[in-house]
């Protein structure tokens, strides 16, 4: 277990913020996870876990121990008449894992292509895109329970998945994910529930998973900046969910309001998901720059670090955006990435 002292985390967070970790611990083997926890507890020190650093804002140096999960491995765990059960270690790069599943003929993750980060971080956020959420293809995961000091297997129900949410967000220091298992259907069906995908394949008679994978990559690349070129964490705010009454009021005032009915909401309790990027764009923030940080010029939902910016500067900009959106629409925007400040 390699430990670097006062190590920069600039290359371990996709915003590229240059903050320091007092002890940066490189976890390359599953069995090093309990050793990492034991080391932190023994020294009565703070600890945190990093994967790909793609969903966090580092606005301060991190004291104590920072575990960089870099475990590798992927395999077909088992198969039944209906599903392939595919497992990947937490340190696997998510997009590479998705590409590998398709190469092996395990279909169903293609809508989640090109999402930055690691496999271990994916259930924490319950990642989702283009009509699919991780929870829909999730089977189980293995994690180290830092309270009981035991390895545990958690089912979908155990994880309490919700929109960009899970038990891991509400108990952030209890579990450290070591591997994740997905249940991928043998009878594959194209998921074209996202309007842009449906439009792209409207004239296609035969659609395959590789074609969807390629199209998702094209759409994401056109909308979102490459973190290796411009520091960012993808979507910075959740798409807010409002009641039917609030939606109808906004729609009356804003005929071009971009919104989607929340699936499975009843007529008596209908809810709508608003496009946060559209709301931000209407407030004039698209392409806005404040020093080294700003709003991406192609997608207002993405905040960026042009180079040399700090987490504190980015959070100040985020606060201004939240205030303006609330003043104009009476809608609260909540921040999606995890914040260290």
CA 284 and chain centroid, separation: 26
Q: Which helix (H) or strand (E) holds 168?
A: helix 167-170
d(CA 254, CA 242): 15
d(CA 126, CA 272): 20
Q: Are strands 338-340 and 56-58 parallel, antiparallel or unpaired?
A: parallel
Helix 209-223 / helix 94-104 crossing angle, nearest 10 deg: 160
Cβ atoms of 331 and 279 within 8 Å: the answer is yes
d(CA 188, CA 302): 32
Is 336 designated active site? yes
d(CA 286, CA 295): 6
Single out the catalytic residue among 164, 166, 179, 313.
Answer: 164
Cβ atoms of 53 and 19 within 8 Å: the answer is no
Single out the catalytic residue among 87, 110, 142, 336.
Answer: 336
Single out the catalytic residue among 87, 110, 235, 313.
Answer: 235
User: How many Cβ atoms sit within 10 Å of the Cβ of residue 280?
Assistant: 25
Q: 269: which 2 tokens?
A: 């309790």
Q: Which of 194, 216, 226 is CA-nearest to residue 296?
A: 226
Q: Which of 177, 226, 232, 193 is CA-nearest to residue 55?
A: 232
Which residues are annotated as catalytic? 164, 235, 336
């Amino acid at each position: 277990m390699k430990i670097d002292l006062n190590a920069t985390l600039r290359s371990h967070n996709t915003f590229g913020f240059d903050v320091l970790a007092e002890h940066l611990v490189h976890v390359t083997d599953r069995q090093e996870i309990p050793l990492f926890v034991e080391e932190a507890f023994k020294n009565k020190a703070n600890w945190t876990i990093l994967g790909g650093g793609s969903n966090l804002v580092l606005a301060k140096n991190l004291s104590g121990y920072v575990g960089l999960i870099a475990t590798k491995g992927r395999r077909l765990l088992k198969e039944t008449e209906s599903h392939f059960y595919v497992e990947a270690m937490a340190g696997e790069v998510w997009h590479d894992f998705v590409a590998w599943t398709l190469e092996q003929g395990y279909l169903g993750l293609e809508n989640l292509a090109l999402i930055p980060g690691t496999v271990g971080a994916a259930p924490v956020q319950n990642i989702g895109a283009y009509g699919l959420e991780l929870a829909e293809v999730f089977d189980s995961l293995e994690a180290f329970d830092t309270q009981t000091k035991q390895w545990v297997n958690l089912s979908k129900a155990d994880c309490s998945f919700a929109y960009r949410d899970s038990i891991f967000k509400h108990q952030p220091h209890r579990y450290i994910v070591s591997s994740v298992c997905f249940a991928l259907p043998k009878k594959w069906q194209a998921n074209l529930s996202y309007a842009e995908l449906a439009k792209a394949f409207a004239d296609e008679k035969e659609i395959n998973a590789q074609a969807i994978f390629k199209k998702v990559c094209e759409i994401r690349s056109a909308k979102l900046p490459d973190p290796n070129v411009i520091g960012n964490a993808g979507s910075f705010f959740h798409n807010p969910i409002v009641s039917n009454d609030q939606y109808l009021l906004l729609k009356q005032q804003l005929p071009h309001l971009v919104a989607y009915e929340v699936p499975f909401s009843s007529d008596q309790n209908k809810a709508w998901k608003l496009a946060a990027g559209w709301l931000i764009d209407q407030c004039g923030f698209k392409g806005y720059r404040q020093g080294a940080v700003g709003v991406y010029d192609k997608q207002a939902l993405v905040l960026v670090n042009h180079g040399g910016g700090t987490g504190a500067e980015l959070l100040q900009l985020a606060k201004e955006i939240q205030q303006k959106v609330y003043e104009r629409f009476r809608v609260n925007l909540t921040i999606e990435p995890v914040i260290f400040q």
